[in-house]
Structure 1
Amino acid sequence: MPAVFSVTSEQLGIWMVAFLWPFVRMLALISTAPIFSEAAVPRTAKVGLAALLAIAIAPTLGALPAVPLVSAGGFWILIQQVLIGAAMGFSMRLVFAMVQAAGEYAGLQMGLSFASFFDPTSGGTTMVLARLLNALAMLLFLAFDGHLMLIMTLAESFHALPIADAPLAAGGWFLLVTAGSQIFSGGLMLALPLIATLLTINLAMGILNRVSPQFSIFSVGFPVTLLAGMFLLQLLMQYLAPFLAPRFAAGFPFMLEFLQGLRR
């Protein structure tokens, strides 16, 4: 007689829980993390990648909470995994937001505030210079194997913060909020040489306009600031990778520190 393979409803529920809860956390991170969340990446690819990672990581999770999937406790665990994955992806996006802020600051000083277009990633209008720096940051992220380290950190997150029905502590959320200040400080630090130089040029042209009233600052000022900004931007490009490399490297331990804060 051939062997009969039978699956009980209890076993099926255990298998669904072991797959669904990690899958939700991974899909939330992939939907918010840099590179993976880009609009150019098809949704089917995002879902497929999350499902593949969930299948690979599920056997290493150990014991899961004995909570039925279709219950208030199971729904609460699903919500927790969505929040955890989205917050992890957002924490990594802080570095890219820093680069975009630097592009916004520099674009305003160069007179490129009108050079903007709709960005499907952010859902709003973004300056061309900010979009250019963001694209360069993504290329550097790939060159530093950041996408692989992000997947590795995602796998480690299930050991740093296992799936449980316990409430999340507020320390991790406070840590994430305070880290948002790096967007403004880091963006200003990256664009500070360009901003200071252009501000000096504008100050010099203002003094020249007062000394020589026939000097038309409106017809000369814009080309001068634009050319000077392009020249300075070219000089700053060689420092972009050394500036972003330690911040990319610090982003992954911060994600684990954030998860540890949720356990306290």
Structure 2
Amino acid sequence: MPPVFSVTSEQLGVWIVAFLWPFIRMLALISTAPVFSEKAVPRSAKVGLAVLLSIAIAPTLGPLPAVPLVSAAGFWILVQQILIGAAIGFSMRLVFAIVQAAGEYAGLQMGLSFASFFDPTSGGNTMVLARLLNVMAVLIFLAIDGHLMLIMTLAESFRTLPISDAPLAAGGWFLLVSAGGQVISGGLMLALPLIAALLTLNLSMGILNRVSPQFSIFAVGFPITLLAGMGMLQMLMQYIAPFMEPRFAAGFAAILEFLSGLRS
């Protein structure tokens, strides 16, 4: 008589927990991380990717806390996985915010503040120039296999910060908030050459207007500023990749530092 395969409710609960908890962390990251969280990516593809990653990583996690899924401690672990996964994705999104900030600063100086459209990713109006630079940052991110490095960092997060019911330390959240200040400084650093050139041009036209009042500076000022801005932007394009690659590396290092800071 062939052996009968039987599964107890306790074994089934252990299997569900071993799959569900890493799945929640991965799904939270995919829902917030750049590239993966784009509106163009179907939801079924996001869930399917999280399922495949969970199946691949779950056997390597080791022993999990003996906490029932339907309990206060089990619910707290689920909340923790959501917070950790979303924070990892948000940390990498801060790097892309640097490029968007640079596009906003440069667009204002070029007179393109009116050239905006609805961005489904951010849920608001975004300047065309900021969107263009963001697309370039995404292409650079994919060219250096940043999406694969992000998945590898996620897998490493289960070793740095394993699944447990212990409370998360506040030091990690402080590091995440502190990283937000780099958005403004990094955006200004990237857009500074263009802003400086356009400021010099505006000062020159202001002096010209004072020297020759009959010269209609308002009629020709905008076309000159726009053309000069486009020329400077073309010169700036070749420096975006060397500027962004160290920022991506620093973003991955910041994620590991953030996870280490969450240890209680």
SS in 1 for 2:117: strand
Report the alpha carbon displacement of residue 211 of structure 1 after superposing the two structures with TM. 1.1
The correspondence of residues 110-259 of structure 1 with structure 2, limited to 5 A, is 110-259=110-259
More deviation, 144-153/211-220: 211-220
Question: For residue 190 of structure 1, what is the amino acid of its counterpart?
Answer: L
Report the alpha carbon displacement of residue 210 of structure 1 after superposing the two structures with TM. 1.1
Aligned length: 264
Do residues 7 (structure 1) and 7 (structure 2) align? yes
SS in 2 for 1:118: strand
Question: For residue 240 of structure 1, what is the amino acid of its counterpart?
Answer: I
CA distance in 1 between partners of 2:79 and 2:233 (Å): 44
TM-score normalised to structure 2 length: 0.99
Report the alpha carbon displacement of residue 4 of structure 1 after superposing the two structures with TM. 1.1
CA distance in 1 between partners of 2:143 and 2:216 (Å): 46
| Unaligned runs of at least 5 residues, structure 2 | none
Question: For residue 176 of structure 1, what is the amino acid of its counterpart?
Answer: L
Report the alpha carbon displacement of residue 237 of structure 1 after superposing the two structures with TM. 0.5
CA distance in 1 between partners of 2:247 and 2:110 (Å): 26
Report the alpha carbon displacement of residue 249 of structure 1 after superposing the two structures with TM. 1.2
Report the alpha carbon displacement of residue 190 of structure 1 after superposing the two structures with TM. 0.0
Question: For residue 149 of structure 2, what is the amino acid of its counterpart?
Answer: M
Report the alpha carbon displacement of residue 254 of structure 1 after superposing the two structures with TM. 1.2
Show CA shifts across 1:88-139 (max 9, x none).
0000011100000000000000000000000000000000000000000000
Q: Which residue of 2 aligns with 1:59?
A: 59
Show CA shifts across 1:177-204 (max 9, x none).
0010000000000000000000010011
Report the alpha carbon displacement of residue 174 of structure 1 after superposing the two structures with TM. 0.2
SS in 2 for 1:263: coil
| Unaligned runs of at least 5 residues, structure 1 | none
Q: Which residue of 2 aligns with 1:83?
A: 83
More deviation, 204-213/170-179: 204-213
CA distance in 2 between partners of 1:227 and 1:28 (Å): 43
CA distance in 1 between partners of 2:251 and 2:108 (Å): 28
TM-score normalised to structure 1 length: 0.99
Q: Which residue of 2 aligns with 1:105?
A: 105
Q: Which residue of 2 aligns with 1:43?
A: 43
Q: Which residue of 1 aligns with 2:28?
A: 28
SS in 1 for 2:152: helix
Do residues 74 (structure 1) and 74 (structure 2) align? yes
Report the alpha carbon displacement of residue 3 of structure 1 after superposing the two structures with TM. 1.8
Report the alpha carbon displacement of residue 161 of structure 1 after superposing the two structures with TM. 0.1
SS in 1 for 2:262: helix
SS in 2 for 1:125: strand
